[in-house]
């Protein structure tokens, strides 16, 4: 029997009646298998004695003698106090709602005690404690590592531990391994039966660690099995490269008309895309490239190919600002080639929308660009062949799916500036292929970054003035829109006033933030792009995608308030042309806004690196596991113990092993793979999850 097949009802566990059963249901546990997979959220070390005298340093864990009982309060409020002592001192157990402890803790006898103590009313008191009589032999809840579970009001720690222990005794012995023996051996893991016992009741920290590794590996192995199988199915012939697909005539013509040549990375990504589009299977490709690496152009070239074969292409961007910018570029670059691009705004009332939708349904638009409005219910395509998703990490899995469903298995191209470790990308995006653009367009100079203390802001402004005098443009970014939110911080509104009236009266500037309506934003961005406005005061709305190559200064005030990926994205707004660009990170460090160590670290990383891959790695290190932009939304993969980011190394092993197994034995017919075939057949993992 596999653990995941253990569907026996909880009443089969000795000591579980209807009441406990319903308490478990509240926690989402409905079967014996579910209970055994209800893993502890932590383990308490009750191996090490912490005497009462050390209560301020750690949770007390000791043997005590009961010295007296007394009571305080009246009526329903009457509460028992039990005085105890160990060799280091005395403490008081305040037994709220536990009057029964009067009979359990007998004066003069010895007990195990675990509890958090505080100094209160002249005593060392605890209200949160566990006790157990000391008997010969082994203790239930003491003298070893004790599991800590997520509890509910109806389910106490002791009861839960007892039920799980009982379930282990009744069911864990004959559990079948879900991994082949040779993998268990190669990766130094436990059998399933031992792992499941040890995850709940480990005898040592070492045993606990191997148990965790075993269960994490097993979960990730099956995740990779499912993904690799699908990948092989999609490609039919694994390992076999599709023939090279030459550039189409429109693609060639666009490239000829450009004032620059494509980078190597762009050329390679385009070759991958052309091969995918020509193959009989739908493309599923992720393009990773740092901010400014020229992904948009690659997606336009893909759209040309789709249009040339008589299909339609759609490009979805996360903000209206960015979508509009793409649409304007598409009009400029693609209309001269005879393509019919269009911009679909989210504004239902906008005039022309009805006509536009009609044209789209008739196939009179080849390339439509917009936000998630592209998959609104009233939007119909005649023949949607290519879906491009820009800044894919801004969209959830469901939104990505909704747009794809507008066509009949269209090709899918996702673009991301967040560098994600390869194995992770391949996992989170299911069986996506990945193209990485590593190089920047020729002539780009890395942005020079300066850190400046708030009190030196004037020197920053003076520098920006020189750049403006030389004809360049500048962004100023603030963490807040207006002063209502927090008076001790600079905000975009007040600073727009101050910058335009006091500091740069000779230059035109505008303010842009999310509370403005789309039309106001559009006009502002257009004027900034044309250079009519020389300075833009903004919040992080300019973070994604905005492309104005003549802007060479990015001033971020209260930079300590922004995360690393936001800072990197914001800095990516400059350095997009051939001029040297500058980024000023102005930070505050005073008694109102003290600079934390984390903020200091982030600023240093930004100063020392412009490489998105390095910054993403640092981000991971500083923020800890479970937090890469674009990965959180993929949390619905349905993992119960593994964490894709924390366990990335185990994930890599699991993927290698799954691949090797399927390559050698695609039918899983060899006897050592029997258990894998059985798991996939009898209890398919991740069956309900869209990967």
| Least distance CB 577 / Mg ion (angstroms) | 16
Query: Of the candidates 126, 177, 251, 263, which one interacts with ligand ADP according to CB under 6 A?
Result: 263
- Choose the one of ligand ADP, Mg ion, none that binds residue 263, judging by a C-beta under 5 to 8 angstroms depending on kind: ligand ADP
**Closest by Cα among 353, 432, 346 to 630:** 432
- 369 contacts ligand ADP (rule: CB under 6 A): no
| Least distance CB 545 / Mg ion (angstroms) | 4
**Closest by Cα among 167, 237, 229, 234 to 199:** 167
Chain-centroid distance of CA 233 in Å reads 28
Residue nearest ligand ADP (C-beta atom)? 294
- 291 contacts ligand ADP (rule: CB under 6 A): yes
CA distance 445 to 136: 75
218 Rama sector, left if φ>0, alpha if ψ -120 to 50, beta otherwise: alpha
CA distance 304 to 311: 10
Is the CB of 287 or the CB of 344 nearer to ligand ADP? Answer: 287
Adjacent-strand bridge partners of 434: 286
- 294 contacts ligand ADP (rule: CB under 6 A): yes
Residue 81 exposed, middle or buried by CB count within 10 Å (0-12, 13-18, 19+) = middle
- 257 contacts ligand ADP (rule: CB under 6 A): no
φ, ψ for residue 240, nearest 5 deg: -85, 120
| Least distance CB 547 / Mg ion (angstroms) | 7
| Least distance CB 260 / Mg ion (angstroms) | 17
Instruction: Tell me the site size for ligand ADP, rule CB under 6 A.
Output: 18
Query: Of the candidates 46, 197, 295, 324, which one interacts with ligand ADP according to CB under 6 A?
Result: 295
Helices of type H across 363-491: 397-404, 422-428, 457-469
Q: Which residues in the 536-575 window bind ligand ADP by CB under 6 A?
A: 547, 549
Cβ atoms within 10 Å of 485's Cβ, excluding its own: 10
Per CB under 5 A, residues contacting Mg ion are 545
- 394 contacts ligand ADP (rule: CB under 6 A): no
- 293 contacts ligand ADP (rule: CB under 6 A): yes
CB-CB contact of 382 with 360 (8 Å): yes
| Least distance CB 250 / ligand ADP (angstroms) | 17
- 341 contacts ligand ADP (rule: CB under 6 A): no
CA distance 4 to 36: 10
- 297 contacts ligand ADP (rule: CB under 6 A): yes
| Window of 290-298, 520-528, 534-542, 666-674 that interacts with ligand ADP by CB under 6 A | 290-298
CA distance 222 to 9: 26
3-state helix vs strand vs coil in the chain, percent to 5: 45, 20, 40
Residue 28 exposed, middle or buried by CB count within 10 Å (0-12, 13-18, 19+) = exposed
Instruction: Locate 1 and state its tokens.
Output: 């029997």
- What 3-state DSSP class applies to 526? helix
Is the CB of 417 or the CB of 628 nearer to ligand ADP? Answer: 417
- 534 contacts ligand ADP (rule: CB under 6 A): no
Is the CB of 407 or the CB of 545 nearer to Mg ion? Answer: 545
Sheet holding 551-557, edge to edge: 448-453, 582-587, 551-557, 473-477, 535-538, 509-512
| Window of 46-54, 293-301, 334-342, 446-454 that interacts with ligand ADP by CB under 6 A | 293-301
- 305 contacts ligand ADP (rule: CB under 6 A): no
DSSP at 672: G
- Choose the one of Mg ion, ligand ADP, none that binds residue 318, judging by a C-beta under 5 to 8 angstroms depending on kind: none
Query: Of the candidates 161, 285, 576, 655, which one interacts with ligand ADP according to CB under 6 A?
Result: 576
Instruction: Locate 418 and state its tokens.
Output: 């967040």
Cβ atoms within 10 Å of 65's Cβ, excluding its own: 14
- Choose the one of ligand ADP, Mg ion, none that binds residue 52, judging by a C-beta under 5 to 8 angstroms depending on kind: none
| Least distance CB 442 / ligand ADP (angstroms) | 6
| Least distance CB 499 / Mg ion (angstroms) | 28
Tell me which H or E stretch contains 43. strand 42-45
- 418 contacts ligand ADP (rule: CB under 6 A): no
CB-CB contact of 333 with 256 (8 Å): no
Is the CB of 262 or the CB of 452 nearer to ligand ADP? Answer: 262
Q: Detail the DSSP E strand segments found in 504-579.
A: 509-512, 535-538, 551-557
CB-CB contact of 30 with 24 (8 Å): yes
- 326 contacts ligand ADP (rule: CB under 6 A): no
- Choose the one of ligand ADP, Mg ion, none that binds residue 610, judging by a C-beta under 5 to 8 angstroms depending on kind: none
**Closest by Cα among 263, 259, 321, 258 to 547:** 321
| Least distance CB 441 / ligand ADP (angstroms) | 3
| Window of 11-19, 110-118, 285-293, 665-673 that interacts with ligand ADP by CB under 6 A | 285-293
Residue nearest Mg ion (C-beta atom)? 545
- 467 contacts ligand ADP (rule: CB under 6 A): no
| Least distance CB 444 / ligand ADP (angstroms) | 8
- 581 contacts ligand ADP (rule: CB under 6 A): no
- Choose the one of Mg ion, ligand ADP, none that binds residue 289, judging by a C-beta under 5 to 8 angstroms depending on kind: ligand ADP
- Binding positions for ligand ADP, rule: CB under 6 A: 260, 262-263, 266, 289, 291-297, 417, 441-442, 547, 549, 576
């Amino acid at each position: 029997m596999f653990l995941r097949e253990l569907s026996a009802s909880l009443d089969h566990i000795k000591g579980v009646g209807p009441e406990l059963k319903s308490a478990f249901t509240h926690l989402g546990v409905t079967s014996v298998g579910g209970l055994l997979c209800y893993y502890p959220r932590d383990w308490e070390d009750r191996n090490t004695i912490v005497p009462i005298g050390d209560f301020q340093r750690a949770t007390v864990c000791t043997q005590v003698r009961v010295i007296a009982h007394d009571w305080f309060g009246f009526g329903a409020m009457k509460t028992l106090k039990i005085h105890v002592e160990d060799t280091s001192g005395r403490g008081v157990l305040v037994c709220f709602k536990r009057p029964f402890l009067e009979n359990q803790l007998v004066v003069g006898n010895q007990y195990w005690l675990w509890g958090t103590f505080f100094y209160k009313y002249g005593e060392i008191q605890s209200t949160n404690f566990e006790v157990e009589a000391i008997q010969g032999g082994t203790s239930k809840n003491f003298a070893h590592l004790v599991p800590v579970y997520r509890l509910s009001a109806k389910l106490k720690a002791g009861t839960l531990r007892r039920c799980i222990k009982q379930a282990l005794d009744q069911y864990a012995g004959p559990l079948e391994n879900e991994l082949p023996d040779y993998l268990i051996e190669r990766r130094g893991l436990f059998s399933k039966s031992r792992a499941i016992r040890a995850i709940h009741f480990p005898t040592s920290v070492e045993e606990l660690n191997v148990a965790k590794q075993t269960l994490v590996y097993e979960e990730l192995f099956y995740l990779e099995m499912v993904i690799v199988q699908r990948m092989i199915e999609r490609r039919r012939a694994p390992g076999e490269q599709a023939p090279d697909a030459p550039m189409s005539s429109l693609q060639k013509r666009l490239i000829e008309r450009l004032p620059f040549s494509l980078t190597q990375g762009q050329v390679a990504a385009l070759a991958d895309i052309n091969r995918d589009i020509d193959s009989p299977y739908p493309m599923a490709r992720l393009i990773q490239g740092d901010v400014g690496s020229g992904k948009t152009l690659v997606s336009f070239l893909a759209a040309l190919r789709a249009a040339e074969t008589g299909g339609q292409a759609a490009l979805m961007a996360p903000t209206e600002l960015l979508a509009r910018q793409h649409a304007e570029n598409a009009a400029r670059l693609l209309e001269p080639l005879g393509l019919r691009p269009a911009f679909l705004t989210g504004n239902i009332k906008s005039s022309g929308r009805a006509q536009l939708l009609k044209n789209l349904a008739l196939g009179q638009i080849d390339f439509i660009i917009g936000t998630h409005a592209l998959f609104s219910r009233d939007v119909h395509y005649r023949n949607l062949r290519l879906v491009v998703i820009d800044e894919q990490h801004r969209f959830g899995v469901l939104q990505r799916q909704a747009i794809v469903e507008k066509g009949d298995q269209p090709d899918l191209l996702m673009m991301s500036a967040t560098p994600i470790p390869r194995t992770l990308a391949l996992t989170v995006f299911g069986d996506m292929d990945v193209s990485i653009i590593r190089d920047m367009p020729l002539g780009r100079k890395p942005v020079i970054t300066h850190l400046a203390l708030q009190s030196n802001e004037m020197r920053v402004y003076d520098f920006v003035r020189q750049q403006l005098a030389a004809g360049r443009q500048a962004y100023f970014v603030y963490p807040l829109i207006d002063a209502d939110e927090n008076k001790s911080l600079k905000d975009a509104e007040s600073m727009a006033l101050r910058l335009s009236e006091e500091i740069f009266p000779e230059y035109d500037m505008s303010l842009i933030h999310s509370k403005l309506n789309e039309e106001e934003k559009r006009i502002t961005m257009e004027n900034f792009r044309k250079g009519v406005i020389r300075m833009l005061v903004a919040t992080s709305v300019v973070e994604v995608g905005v492309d104005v190559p003549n802007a060479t200064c990015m001033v971020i005030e209260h930079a300590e308030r922004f995360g690393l990926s936001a800072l990197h994205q914001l800095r990516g707004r400059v350095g997009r042309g051939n001029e040297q660009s500058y980024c000023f990170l102005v930070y505050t460090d005073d008694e109102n806004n003290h600079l934390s160590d984390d903020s200091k670290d982030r600023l240093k990383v930004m100063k020392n690196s412009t490489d998105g891959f390095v910054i993403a790695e640092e981000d991971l290190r500083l923020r800890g596991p479970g937090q890469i932009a674009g990965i959180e939304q993929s949390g619905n993969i349905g993992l119960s113990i593994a964490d894709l980011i924390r366990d990335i190394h185990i994930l890599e092993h699991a993927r290698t092993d799954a691949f090797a197994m399927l390559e050698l034995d695609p039918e899983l017919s060899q006897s050592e793979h029997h258990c894998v075939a059985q798991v996939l057949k009898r209890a398919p993992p991740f069956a309900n999850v869209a990967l």
